[in-house]
Amino acid sequence: MAGAGALIQIGVVGCADIARKVSRAITLSPNATISAVASRSYDKAASFAADNSFPPTAKVYGSYEALLDDPDVDAVYMPLPTSLHLKWALLAATKKKHLLLEKPVALDVGEFDEIAEACEYNGLQFMDNTMWVHHPRTTAITHFLTDPHRFGLLKSVNSCFTFAADADYLKNNIRVKPNLDSLGSLGDVGWYCITASLLTANYELPKTVIASPEPVLNQDGVILECGASLYWEDGKVATFRCSFLANLTMDITAIGTKGNLHVHDFGIPFHEKEASFSAGTQTSFNDLATGWSSQPTKHTVKTHLPQEARLVTEFARLVGEIKYKNSKPEKKWPIISRKTQLVLDAVKTSIQRGCEPVQIQESGVKEFVAV
């Protein structure tokens, strides 16, 4: 099991529900395999491995430390609550494990930088687990949005990611607990809206962020529902809304000077093997304005591998480049993650300040380490 063709050995650190989906994705990926799983309880880890068809070679650990000490593990996928990311991500970096970290990456950009710098210092690939950007549909969308003839310049983008959490979720889920995932819906589903806003703006950071009035917090101060507007220097604007309290909806609507884009399932496509978007260019009414002479058209993109497996494949590819070819880690991924975290922080700060505008400082635009 050595050489450029060998599978990247991934350890799963934590048995959260999302780890079921990602474990399947690792199994589906042609260049990765699950080599270990850890929980704070050995039994829980063993059950998880059995329930999720882990390969018989996968080792089971009753502690995260034990897995991180396993020399056969190249990289870890870490679906722990956000408040635990700093501790365990730093330890993973110390143990030279490449890191696929669940989003939101950190409680704030200060923590983010500690994690990303530890990965950088140790020559490790960092990637957050935002799956949708790895779908070939997203590539097609990006081509459309960056085409001066088909889309022109971005003017505005609205996105949303909401779902209706049930009573049990709103009482017991880690995402409503201030000591676990204190960023609540902003960190969970708002993260996607921010990635959508940034991707649509070609990853240019906004200048100003303003949270919408009257966010909904639970009794412990965790955000259950909020919105925000992002403003760029050139006048373009992004608005988004994220919520645990409204029916499942997951949209991007982007309007450019020459085109428009609609996506209704951007974070998780309706179907696993194909996904669609609607694109319009120089849409127009007919002469009497009794209908449209040019309207948006639907584009469908097929994918053999689901987006989460494409993410794992890309992560494992980069890990393999480092492991077998002595390459440097790909900085694109931590840079995108950091920008997302910066905007998320600004929204949170705006909420804390009564929805005052928050400036994103120019220094925030810089990469977190000198190249």
Give residues in contact with a copy of itself (CB under 8 A).
18, 20-21, 24, 152, 155-156, 158, 160, 162, 164, 208, 210, 212-214, 216, 225, 227, 229, 231, 235, 237, 239, 241, 243, 245-249, 251, 253, 255-260, 262, 264-265, 268-272, 278, 280-285, 288-292, 295-296, 306, 308, 357
Contact predicate 327/321, CB 8 Å: yes
The least CB distance from residue 126 to a copy of itself, in Å, is 24
Which residue type does 115 have? I
The least CB distance from residue 57 to a copy of itself, in Å, is 23
Cβ contacts of 359 within 8 Å, gap of 6 or more:
207, 208
DSSP letter string, 124-172: --EEE---GGGSHHHHHHHHHHT-TTTT-SEEEEEEEEEEE--HHHHHH
Q: In the complex with a copy of itself, which residue's Cβ is closer, 140 or 237? A: 237
The least CB distance from residue 92 to a copy of itself, in Å, is 25
Choose, from 97, 103, 236, 323, the residue flagged as catalytic.
Answer: 103
Q: In the complex with a copy of itself, which residue's Cβ is closer, 41 or 284? A: 284
Cβ contacts of 25 within 8 Å, gap of 6 or more:
306, 308, 309, 311, 312
Contact predicate 266/132, CB 8 Å: yes
Contact predicate 127/311, CB 8 Å: yes
Q: In the complex with a copy of itself, which residue's Cβ is closer, 229 or 337? A: 229
Per DSSP bridges, beta strands 208-211 and 358-359 are: antiparallel
Q: In the complex with a copy of itself, which residue's Cβ is closer, 73 or 176? A: 176
The least CB distance from residue 231 to a copy of itself, in Å, is 6
- Based on the residue annotation, tell me whether 325 is a catalytic residue of this protein: no
In 3D space, the residue among 94, 97, 124 whose CA is nearest the CA of residue 13 turns out to be 97
The least CB distance from residue 188 to a copy of itself, in Å, is 12
Contact predicate 95/75, CB 8 Å: no
Contact predicate 115/101, CB 8 Å: yes
The least CB distance from residue 278 to a copy of itself, in Å, is 7
Q: In the complex with a copy of itself, which residue's Cβ is closer, 18 or 90? A: 18
Angle at 43 between CA 37 and CA 48, to 5 degrees: 50
CA dihedral 19, 20, 23, 27 (to 10 degrees): -170
Q: In the complex with a copy of itself, which residue's Cβ is closer, 20 or 44? A: 20
Residue 322 pairs in a beta bridge with: none
Residues designated as active site: 103
